[in-house]
Copies of this chain bind each other. A is one copy, B any other.
Amino acid sequence: MSGAGLRAVPVGEVAIGEGFWAERQRVHRDVMLPHCLDKLEATGRLANFRRAAGREPGGFQGHYGFDDSDVYKVLEGIAYVLMTTPSPALAERADEMFRLIAEAQEPDGYLFTRNTLSSEGSERARWSDMNSHEMYTGGHFIEAAVAYHQATGSTVGLETARRLADHYRSEFGPGRRHWVDGHEEVGLALMRLADETGDAGYAEFALWHLEERGRGHGQGAVWDDPAFGAAYSQDRIPVADLTAAEGHAVRAMYLLSAMTDAAARGHDAYGPALRAVWDNVVQHHLYVTGGIGAAGGIEGFGADDVLPNREAYCETCAAIALVYWADRMNRWTGGAAAADVVEQVLYNGLLAGWSVSGDRFFYDNPLESDGTHRRQPWFGCACCPSNLARFIPSVGRYVYATGPDTLYVNQFITSVARVTVGDQTVHVAQRTGFPWEGRVTLQLTGEDLSHVRVAIRQPAWAGSATVTVNGAPGPIRWERGYLVCQRAWQAGDVVAVEFPLPVRRVHQAPAVLDTRGRVALARGPLVYAVEAADHPDAVDDATAPPDALLLADPLAEVPGVGSAVRIRAVRPDSDGALTAVPYFLWANREPGPMRVWLREV
């Protein structure tokens, strides 16, 4: 371990039984997952596997070779569901899908149905284009297989995954071919495979992939296209030399996630790059919604501080990928600031990509719309729905992290968890009305809690807090953004923290020209938006002058939107008020314009 050495808590150890996220996870199980499984079938994605397995005749159906990855991501989502919500029927379906995939795998371990089904033959088709997404797709399979093994103990996927990874190692690596995979998913997948199998060779191989970049080995049409080039795939310079975000946002985040994994394993050479790129992303590329990747043309990073709102790309996958990186940065740095970013993305740009109904999705998440931007049931490139399908049931992963003597409370989510701190097993029952209310209680149970420190993230948006242990003010240390309580805990002790939740006026740095003179409204972790459903004719002129009265209405049902705390900005001496809803809930009612950044005059 290197860096701060915090450890993740497995998804299966955190049960989310009620509250805000439990409801989202219920909709995931009841609506999103069946919907995605239907789409995998309806779009031919599963047929491609049956054909590659020889179960049915026919060629590759679809536009993109990486369509396979949607199957894998849905499988990964099923694995997370099974970790906390047993379902023999779902497990049986997943088992069958893993068996089908194993059948579709070629004898040498190669797995990519488009090339297996290629008319020119797999041997000729494979590894001919570094932007083919063969390893991207394979990385997603490895992640699904690892998750399924964790969920069920079944090796049905893991064996396929090892054969696949070993195939990669037989083709590429030191002394073999160079390869700069265009979309860096495989790196973090190999790290997970190393952890799950105990075979450190996979982590070394991941590091080799990282080190291939920026050394002139990349080639292909994307590299030759001046609109993309090497930077699009983070292949411009060696990754240890990166100082700023560049290229495709999701690719960059997956790369940085793998680099952070490497740093956590002791590869200290990545430390300066990680810190520099983190600062650059947070200071110059992060929308108030937690969105990243402003530039639609490359689905990625534009120039520093160029953050247009209507044209903001902010891919849903990039939000998810930023959570992956920020979570790793939290564990590597030990600082709460990275977990703040996880929260910012979770409750805004990430959830916005998914409808309340559960079966509609945004690919891109602008902060302003003329009313034509609507969620869709699926996309030709369906990475976002399938990424949400795996992400939503995994959210328990972000609640806690652990150090040798410390339980880090990173997210405020009603749940029951079993975590390991040092040599102690600690049961933690967390209850909260977050994000609508600011009170959180934690009840600890365990055999010997005398040496356990409880570190509660103090969100940067919270100016202060009230913290008690069993109702009395507790001794607090303040470390790297965490409220740390240390005492000789008794089983059943209750730590309560309350963050006041005033409505806040948020301004962006003046270097961002698009938001000069504009204000966003926020409350707790939530950024708010004004949309046409509340203001049929006035969204473009929506104004929250500095002397407006800001009201937070109590949590109530908003038809079509679900329960929400609405914000009202009331102008002096004016009838009517500007009503805002949480950004993540926009576009769940009748179509129309929307704005996050409001006029101030």
Contacts and interface: CB of A to CB of B under 8 A. Distances in A.
Contact of A552 (B464, B550, B570, B571): B464
B554 A478 contact: no
A578 B535 CA distance: 48
B549 A463 contact: no
Interface string A71-97: 000000000000000000000000000
Interface stretch (A295-303, A358-366, A371-379, A501-509): A501-509
Interface of A: 458, 462-468, 471-473, 476-480, 483, 500-505, 523, 548-554, 556, 566, 568, 570-575, 577
A574 B478 contact: yes
A478 B553 contact: no
Given A473-B568, A568-B473, A550 B466 contact: no
A463 to B, nearest CB: 4
A290 B479 CA distance: 35
Contact of A458 (B472, B500, B549, B552): B549
A575 to B, nearest CB: 7
Main secondary structure of the interface of A (DSSP, over half): strand
A324 B502 CA distance: 32
22 contacts: A463-B502, A463-B504, A463-B550, A464-B523, A464-B549, A465-B550, A466-B551, A467-B551, A473-B551, A473-B553, A476-B551, A476-B568, A476-B570, A477-B570, A477-B574, A478-B549, A478-B571, A479-B572, A483-B549, A483-B551, A500-B500, A500-B501
Contact of A478 (B466, B502, B504, B570): B570
Contacts of A464: 502-504, 523, 549-552
Contacts of A458: 549
Contacts of A550: 463-465
A556 B548 CA distance: 35
A580 to B, nearest CB: 12
A502 B465 CA distance: 7
Nearest to A567: B464
A465 B568 CA distance: 10
Contacts of A480: 572-573
Nearest to A523: B464
A466 B552 contact: yes
Give the top 4 A-B pairs by smallest Cβ distance, nearest first.
Answer: A464-B503, A464-B550, A478-B549, A500-B500
A477 B551 contact: no
